[in-house]
Structure 1
Amino acid sequence: MLLWPPKGVELHLRMAGDSRVHMDHDMEIGVTPTAVQKLPKHMREAQISTERTHLIADPIKKPRQRYVQKDGKCNVHHGNVQETYRYLSDLFTTLVDLRWRFSLFIFTLVYVVNWLFFGLLWYIIALIRGDLWHSDEEGWTPCVENLNSFVSAFLFSIETETTIGYGYRVITEKCPEGIILLLIQAILGSIVNAMMVGCMFVKISQPKNRAETLMFSHKAVISVRDNKLCLMFRVGDLRNSHIVEASIRAKLIRSQQTKEGEFIPLNQTDINIGFDTGDDRLFLVSPLIISHEINEKSPFWELSQAQMDKEEFEIVVILEGMVEATGMTCQARSSYLDKEVLWGWRFTPVLSLEKGFYEVDYNSFHDIYETNTPSCSAKELAAMVREGQLLPTLSLLTPELPKPYTLEPMSTHNPLSKEVDKGEEGERGEINGSAATLKDQPGLD
């Protein structure tokens, strides 16, 4: 008797049915079939088995393209600019913004062309008057004495505009056209000198060079301060001359989709780092830790540690102030990608008290140490503190500072905080890193 379907076909249909069940299950939990098809062939075949199990690989987080580089340069290129005449309307700023090799080339070219142009005019005047042929005759008064070739006319043009005054070539009083040309060259030469020398002076003294000695920490951290989650980073100034009226602000750069469906690829959201309280006005004598309190108005209010690891964003920080020596406005920029914001860390102290002065150790400027921090969101933490559920564990949020400023990995079975070994705690004691005085910190006298 003929069986239908055959045994091999029946097994094939059963496997196809299992694959359809897995596919329907993937659609329910939010995994699209296209994501599975993009996997390599051997991985796709390995996921289809006779058992009713299906392994779903976690998507690999792609590195985000920086909007602002670590050194402050904006990673944006302007393309398809049609109205290029706008650059010529502000010629001085255009010359200042050019690279040094182009600025030096234009600086040299402008002077050489100017000297050649007026040298040619002096040569034409001598040619029209006949000074090139009658200069050796007695009783002949040339327009410019000792001007008998284009080279001598070019040298006379340089001497006139630069006011060198060698005294060998000189204009005579019986040449009205030469006197007029001399006035024109003197006026235009002064304009050229003012513009080109001023351009080079501004380019040399640009305040952005002062920003090279302003430092930002390599990482930003999130930890607890006064029972509140805070986002923190450190800034410092390497020079003894201070930045006057220094202020700092921060922007959150991330993609956003509005309720109407509009997609904004690089939406900018303000991050409050003390605008209301005046903490954004800095007295930048020693390195400072800038803190952003994650409250109801913060864009990180509802983000927990697990959610923060999945987010894609960039934090741009901008430090502005006036250079004390010149009074010019200076701006320094840096940024932190999502992978550069570490949850549960603090900055190592860098200030120590010596005999008669405070000393800053810039070798530890970027150092951080791990601290006990709840993994929940700031909104959940505020609710727990308000309800009194976090009071028994508040002491766990202020870790000790061992000599290397690092803590051993701790277990995280407590959902609110990391557990500290009670034996070690009894031997070493607790040091409140946020409230301890300078004399209590390691390395301080």
Structure 2
Amino acid sequence: MHRNKHFKRLSSQWQSTFRGNIPLSPTEKWHGAKSFRRRCKLLGDEQPLCVTTNNQRQRYVTKDGKCRVNLGHIKDKSRFISDIFTTLVDLKYLWFLLVFTACYILTWMSFGAIYFLDAWLRDDIAHVHDSQWQPCFENVDSYLSALLLSLETQRTIGYGSRRVTANCPEGVVLLMVQSITGSIIDAVMVGCMFVKISRPQQRAQTLIFSKHCIICERDEKLCLLFRIGDLRESHMVDAKIRAKLIKSRQTKEGEFIPLEQSEINLGYDTGGDRLLLVEPQTIAHIINDSSPFWEVGAKRLKRETLEIIVILEGIVEASGMTCQARTSYTQDEILWGHRFASCISLEKGAFLVDYSAFDKTFEVQMSPLSARNRSHAKDEESTF
């Protein structure tokens, strides 16, 4: 009963907020109220009609580049088995080592059980001390001795008192099958371990981003700026930068889009997105009429609920593998009317980078108007 009252209240709020006085069917009211509640619950809203008091947006990407998206209720999990190599490589190191160990132990134990069963069926165990008996597996009188035979066979340690004889064809077949199985497991496990160790994810730890974005004027244009830097002396090859704006939106029909992605132009048309990342670079997005920040001013920025995802990609010079580093900026991490302090100086015939000033900014006098209002003001001045 309480739930129905809650949905009725939300449906009236949603209709008055997004649909005005347009008549709606009960189904539209129900889905609209449900969508409205999801918006308030998950992402927060500046609307005073929201029942939640949480105005902070859930981060889509953390500052260190981890995506905060959990995948649940996956029905067809067999797809992960069909791509078993990627599944193994994506495992955490603890789970990978457990799988690595389990594959070998299970193989040894399985073939040990087969050897012991074959010896028991051939009655070799009962005649283990009979010198006239011709066994299939010499000195295999228990499961433990069969396990040792399996281990010596697969790891090619070298046979001692236990070995496979030529008295039974099935023993030779088992020997070949285990040798091939062991080679396959070695190839897969060593390949997975090599790929996992050589993945360039740790290279991203030495690619850093400024703690804040800033909005300031450059050449009489309003720009969104942030900094990136590389701490290593071996540089990234063919480094590229791109950015996405993540923001929730309610359509005119009442559909709630919680994570709508918009492209932020960082110089793709002019080649400015391709970097020579030797020293810290300040990346600029010019706020024009095609920018998602065209109508955003200083006051509106404080009320906005958004997140900027920055993605830096390049080839690791040492290994030739592609590396990707990510970070994000929420609306609280965008500073209006600030500039970055200089962190490069000339010293003893070379440029010196002072990374202690990498994140430093200072405030400048700047109008709080949005780029759109600035453009309209200039047009009005030009007409007069």
> Shorter-chain TM-score: what band?
0.7 to 0.9
Could you say which structure has the larger radius of gyration? 1
TM-score where L is the length of structure 1: 0.70
1:335 positional shift:
0.4
Please point out which of 156, 160, 164 is paired with 1:163.
156
1:143 is aligned with what amino acid?
C
Quickly say closer, same or farther: Cα 1:141–1:353, change in 2 above 3 A. farther
Q: Summarize the Cα distance change of 1:60–1:304 in structure 2 as closer, same or farther, 3 Å threshold.
A: farther
Matched position secondary structure for 1:65: coil
1:142 maps to 135
Which secondary structure does the structure 2 equivalent of 1:133 belong to? coil
The CA distance in 2 between the partners of 1:166 and 1:173, in whole Å, is 15
> Aligned partner of 1:66: which letter?
R
Contact residue 314 and residue 335 of structure 1 kept, 8 A? yes
Alignment of 1:348-387 (within 5 A): 348-384=341-377
* 2:267 equivalent in structure 1: 274
Q: What is the 5 A alignment of 1:45-444?
A: 62-384=55-377
User: How far does the alpha carbon of each residue in 1:385-441 deviate from its partner, in whole angstroms, 9 at most, with x for none?
Assistant: 56767xxxxxxxxxxxxxxxxxxxxxxxxxxxxxxxxxxxxxxxxxxxxxxxxxxxx
Quote the residue 2:28 is aligned against: none
Structure 1 residue identity aligned to 2:181: L
Residue 442 of structure 1 is matched in structure 2 by none
Task: Return the alpha-carbon distance in structure 1 between the equivalents of residues 321 and 208 of structure 2.
Answer: 19
* Letter in structure 1 aligned against 2:96: S
8 A contact 1:220–1:341 mirrored in 2: yes
Which residue identity is paired with 1:123? F
Encode CA deviations 1:237-258: one digit per residue, 9 max, x unaligned: 1122222221111111111123
Could you tell me which residue of structure 1 aligns to residue 19 of structure 2? none
| Matched residues, number | 332
Q: Give the SS at the match of 2:335.
A: strand
Counterpart amino acid of 1:79?
G
Q: What percent of counterpart residues are identical?
A: 53
Secondary structure, in 3 states, of the residue corresponding to 1:157? Answer: helix
Which deviations, in whole Å up to 9, do the C-alpha atoms of 1:283-336 show, x marking residues without a partner? 111111111000111011122211222111110111111222222221111100
Structure 1 unaligned blocks of 5 or more: 1-26, 28-58, 390-445
Instruction: Let me know the Cα RMSD of the aligned residues.
Output: 2.1
State the 1:206 CA deviation.
2.0
Give 1:143 shift: 2.1
Give the residue type in structure 1 aligned to 2:151: I
The letter for the 1-side match of 2:63 is: K
The amino acid that maps onto 2:318 is: A
Q: Distance in 2 between matches of 1:122 and 1:291?
A: 69
CA contact (8 A) 1:227 1:385 kept: no
* TM-score (ref. length: structure 2): 0.81
Question: Residue type matched to 1:224 in 2?
Answer: E
CA apart distance, 1:354: 2.0
Moved beyond 3 Å, runs of 4+: 382-389
**AA at the equivalent of 2:80:** Y
**1:50 is matched with which residue?**
none
Tell which has more relative contact order, 1 or 2 (C-alpha 8 A, sep 6+): 2
Q: Which runs of 5+ in 2 are unaligned?
A: 1-15, 17-51
What SS does the corresponding residue of 1:231 show, helix, strand or coil?
strand
Contact 1:255 1:263 in 2 (8 A): yes
Letter of the structure 2 residue corresponding to residue 337 of structure 1:
T
- Measure, in 2, the Cα distance between the counterparts of 1:119 and 1:108: 17
Please give the alpha-carbon distance, in whole angstroms, between the structure 1 residues aligned to 2:347 and 2:135. 79
> What is the aligned partner in structure 2 of residue 410 from structure 1?
none
Distance 1:133 1:353, change over 3 A: same
1:24 matched to which residue of 2? none
Residues 229-273 of structure 1: per-residue CA shift (max 9 Å, x gap):
100011111122222221111111111123444321211110001
Describe the shift of the 1:131–1:289 C-alpha distance in structure 2 as closer, same or farther (beyond 3 A): same
Bigger shift: residues 352-361 or 64-73: 352-361
Q: Equivalents in 1 of 2:189, 2:79: separation in Å?
A: 20
Deviates more, 1:263-272 or 1:301-310: 301-310
